[in-house]
Structure 1
Amino acid sequence: MRILTWNINGVRTIPQYHPWNTFKTHEEILNNLHADILCFQGVHKLLQKFAPVSLICDSQEMKSSRQNLPKAVGVPPSYHSFFSFPRHRSGYSGVAVYAKLASATPLKAEEGLTGLLQPNPPLLPSECISQPDAYPTQTPECEELDLRSLDSEGRALVIDFGLFVLVAVYCPNDGTDTDQRIQYKADFHTILAARIRGLVGEKREVILLGDLNACAAVIDHAEGPLMVARAQEEGIEGEEGFWLTGARKWLRDLIADNGGILVDVVRRFHPDRKGMYTCWNTKISARESNYGARIDYILVTPGLLPWIEAADIQPELKGSDHCPVFIDLRDSLVDNQGREILLQDVLGVTREAEPPRLAAKFWDEYKQRLLSTFFTTKTSSHPSDQQHPASPDASGIASSSSLSASLEMQPSKRKLDAIQPQSASQTLSKKPKSQQEKPQVSLDSTKLKKAVKGQTSLASFFAKPTAQSSSSKAVHAEKRKTTDKNDIIVIDEDHAPPSSSPTVQSDLDADYQFALKLSQEPIPSASSPLNKNLEAKAWGRMLAPPAPPRCVVHGEPAKSMTVTKTGPNKGKSFFICSRPVGPGYDAGKATRRRSEVDDQWRCNFFKWASDVRREEMTRKDTPD
């Protein structure tokens, strides 16, 4: 059995990458991840291909919701599925767990970590995973916390699979933020650790997995050694400089190697592997040089280690700025007494069993019948099938054929052909003979029904304009011409609007100077055979992109890029060093100490394309 976790909250979406873009359904994507239990974070990316366009437009930065989740994504035929969405804050979080029907059916399932998020009706005591005293609501360190608020962002699912309890989480990010969010992150870590300790206290085996948004060791961060060296220069001994971040310290203390209660399985299988990163900054193309961090983990209690036969990351799978992480469980295990224990037996649930009530298949959204089904005529290849009674699910509902017949529009007494213009009737000349020979109904006003007051008659759209209306239109046209002539506005230079930015103005100046230079060149007469060639060369020089400059440090041709961020510079081109980023790359004096710069990586070269073009003009104007 394979258990996989993947944060699909990347800048790119899964269906834009191969091989995911070759699959037509969400279930095909799940099947080709080759896992039995799949845990996703950033659930909104599941909508990008399979939801209607209107839903995608409404939730581009929203981590999905029950109303936005198509049934094909929410309830794939071969999987049990569970979701947690933010309660109030749109555009946030969202986690999902899929369990393959053929492999495992959960015993129990809960949303959140506190036990306060309840379905309707609430879970019975027999449906709860733990006893009341094992939840964070009963722990002293959580007494002062707003537990319901901490559990309202759709960041956790707790699912009981018999052999173990799966805790799938999406921890708040580790970036610098407001004091309020920093405190929220610390409080979330507190209740997460309390929930795990409560499960361990009940003698349960636990698998904690997901995007923890923190690093568990110096080796898990590309800049880790530089952070340690910088702290040592400031007098901080050992690796303590790396643990100044609260989230890293919390994760370090949770792992058994440092006295915690969980084991970092992937690191246990690959203790010395460097560059084992799971997340990269795609905005600076960091994945190309593997300049990233390991923040996606699968942590287990020590009692599960005998069941685990493999664990690793999958950086070759694209589709997000994260990569999947997985563990493989053995199909069987021999205990101390020599007895073989099958994995399916200790999971404890057969395929035929129903999943817990939290499963998406029980949502009201998926129980409702689509309105379109009431207006669809049922087709059958055998006439005898039409005589069968309706299915039990359709009891009390009129058949679609009878309903559509009752709603069918009655034919109008006035044929639409009677008011068709001549050109339209000509285009319909290929009608069947029975239709062509129908007599045309006269448009005599005495035979037409009187239009309702205030309502335009359909025939009026096909009537010839009267002389009065023609003269009225002529008057309006004359007024329009007069208005157009008077609509020319002269702007005084003293009152002209300012330029949007200096960089935009510099572009205009450069283009103006270049055009002025071209205008001063002697132009041959129209009869000259070189006229067309010179014109083509002139336009080619004006429209051609500037040649890439060379970066100062490496002397290599720079890479052209375009501003995509909304603002005054959007659409402008610029050049940067073409080398990839890496540990110690020059991110600028404000970010990187000069002593830490490693010249084998990208330098801080930057130049606007407009400046490059201006320099080219200057060189051409300067005599040799």
Structure 2
Amino acid sequence: MKLVSWNVNGLRACVNKGFLDYFREVDADIFCVQETKLQEGQIELPLGEEYRQYWNYAEKKGYSGTAVFTRLAPISVRYGMEEDREPEGRIVTLEFEDFYLVTVYTPNAKRDLSRLDYRMEWEDRFRSYLKELDERKPVLVCGDLNVAHQEIDIKNSKGNHGNSGFTAEERGKMTDLLGAGFLDTFRHLYPDRADVYSWWSNMPGVRDRNVGWRIDYFLASERLGPSITEASIACEVLGSDHCPVVLELDLPQTT
């Protein structure tokens, strides 16, 4: 089974930069996107009849938003954590026979850290939500988690200490999440692989010089560890300031 996650930073713009070419080439069973930045009816994606499409739109226009395109028919679909709605469109949860799939766009603390307190509270709720799911069946979590967890996950770690996405508080919440029974699948397979990132600033030359951050992840319940066959980061794929991340597992493909 192949799963892909990509923060497209505006799906309509990304479609104009080759999204559909990559989508067809990668041939995923489940393809998740974050930061769609659109409302219902603003796009019609020709993905083929085999893919079911599930969208969570933000109430604010041109902001946030997530979606899942899946060949596998889910048992249930949920939007948000506590209720089956969520104003910023940040979460879609699909339940399958053998696992849950959660795609998420984690709130940014903002450059001035004005949203850090909210981020901390959100992180605690999200961890509790995932733990509840994990008690029922294994969980796969993917998306833009807006944090570089370790110094190996960011090019300029020394210069970014304390900055949004690399504060001790945000990194600590990621540590707490992994400690609650989840694996960072990329680091599970490649604990020492450096200079592999999933996001780069739009400043000139930054991506060419690979001055990046690894903030896009696939997490998995620890008991899924033996099923992970590959976890990769498609750094060569353009179209967004993020690149896709890919997870391959040996799991049943229930239709």
Give TM-score scaled by structure 2 length: 0.90
1:338-358, CA deviations, whole angstroms, 9 ceiling, x for partnerless residues? xxxxx23xx3xx3xxxxxxxx
Contact 2:10/2:38 (CA < 8 Å) preserved in 1? Answer: no
Paired residue for 1:278?
A: 198
Paired residue for 1:187?
A: 121
Paired residue for 2:150?
A: 217
> Which amino acid is 1:77 matched to?
E
Distance across 1 between alignment mates of 2:198 and 2:166: 20
SS in 1 for 2:175: helix
Paired residue for 1:32?
A: 25
> Which amino acid is 1:250 matched to?
K
Q: Of residues 72, 79, 101 in structure 2, which corresponds to 1:111?
A: 79
Contact 2:142/2:216 (CA < 8 Å) preserved in 1? Answer: yes
SS in 2 for 1:109: strand
Distance across 2 between alignment mates of 1:227 and 1:177: 13
Contact 1:11/1:282 (CA < 8 Å) preserved in 2? Answer: no
Paired residue for 1:198?
A: 132
Larger Rg: 1
Paired residue for 1:518?
A: none
Structure 1: runs of 5+ lacking an equivalent: 44-62, 118-150, 232-241, 332-342, 351-624
Distance across 2 between alignment mates of 1:200 and 1:174: 27
1:223-275, CA deviations, whole angstroms, 9 ceiling, x for partnerless residues? 114557xx9xxxxxxxxxx97432221112211xxx33110111111111111
Distance across 1 between alignment mates of 2:213 and 2:58: 26
Distance across 2 between alignment mates of 1:324 and 1:223: 22
Contact 1:212/1:295 (CA < 8 Å) preserved in 2? Answer: yes
Q: Of residues 91, 98, 115 in structure 2, which corresponds to 1:163?
A: 98
Q: Of residues 215, 218, 230 in structure 2, which corresponds to 1:298?
A: 218
Contact 1:10/1:321 (CA < 8 Å) preserved in 2? Answer: no
Distance across 2 between alignment mates of 1:174 and 1:65: 24
1:448-475, CA deviations, whole angstroms, 9 ceiling, x for partnerless residues? xxxxxxxxxxxxxxxxxxxxxxxxxxxx
Paired residue for 2:6?
A: 6
Q: Of residues 174, 180, 198 in structure 2, which corresponds to 1:251?
A: 174
Distance across 2 between alignment mates of 1:324 and 1:176: 24
Count of residue pairs the alignment pairs up? 253
Contact 1:11/1:320 (CA < 8 Å) preserved in 2? Answer: no
Contact 1:264/1:298 (CA < 8 Å) preserved in 2? Answer: yes
Q: CA deviation at 1:107?
A: 1.2
1:104-124, CA deviations, whole angstroms, 9 ceiling, x for partnerless residues? 21111111111342xxxxxxx
SS in 2 for 1:210: strand
Paired residue for 1:94?
A: 65
SS in 2 for 1:40: strand
Q: CA deviation at 1:207?
A: 0.7
- 1:325 matched to 2:245? The reply is yes
Paired residue for 1:65?
A: 39
Distance across 2 between alignment mates of 1:12 and 1:108: 27
> Which amino acid is 2:41 matched to?
Q
What aligned pairs does 1:359-378 form with structure 2 within 5 A after superposition?
A: none
Distance across 1 between alignment mates of 2:195 and 2:218: 17
Distance across 2 between alignment mates of 1:80 and 1:227: 40
Shift in CA distance, 244/328, structure 1 to aligned 2, threshold 3 Å: closer
Distance across 2 between alignment mates of 1:201 and 1:15: 38
- 1:79 matched to 2:46? The reply is no
Q: CA deviation at 1:194?
A: 1.2
Distance across 1 between alignment mates of 2:220 and 2:96: 14
What aligned pairs does 1:548-587 form with structure 2 within 5 A after superposition?
A: none
Shift in CA distance, 30/11, structure 1 to aligned 2, threshold 3 Å: closer
Distance across 2 between alignment mates of 1:215 and 1:196: 20
1:566-600, CA deviations, whole angstroms, 9 ceiling, x for partnerless residues? xxxxxxxxxxxxxxxxxxxxxxxxxxxxxxxxxxx
> Which amino acid is 1:164 matched to?
F
What aligned pairs does 1:528-607 form with structure 2 within 5 A after superposition?
A: none
Identical aligned pairs, as a percentage?
A: 31
Shift in CA distance, 292/174, structure 1 to aligned 2, threshold 3 Å: farther
> Which amino acid is 2:169 matched to?
G
Give TM-score scaled by structure 1 length: 0.38
* Structure (1/2) with the larger strand percentage: 2
SS in 1 for 2:4: strand
> Which amino acid is 1:64 matched to?
L
Paired residue for 2:34?
A: 41
Distance across 2 between alignment mates of 1:243 and 1:109: 32
What aligned pairs does 1:132-143 form with structure 2 within 5 A after superposition?
A: none
SS in 2 for 1:249: helix
Contact 1:313/1:326 (CA < 8 Å) preserved in 2? Answer: yes
Paired residue for 1:619?
A: none
Shift in CA distance, 176/282, structure 1 to aligned 2, threshold 3 Å: closer
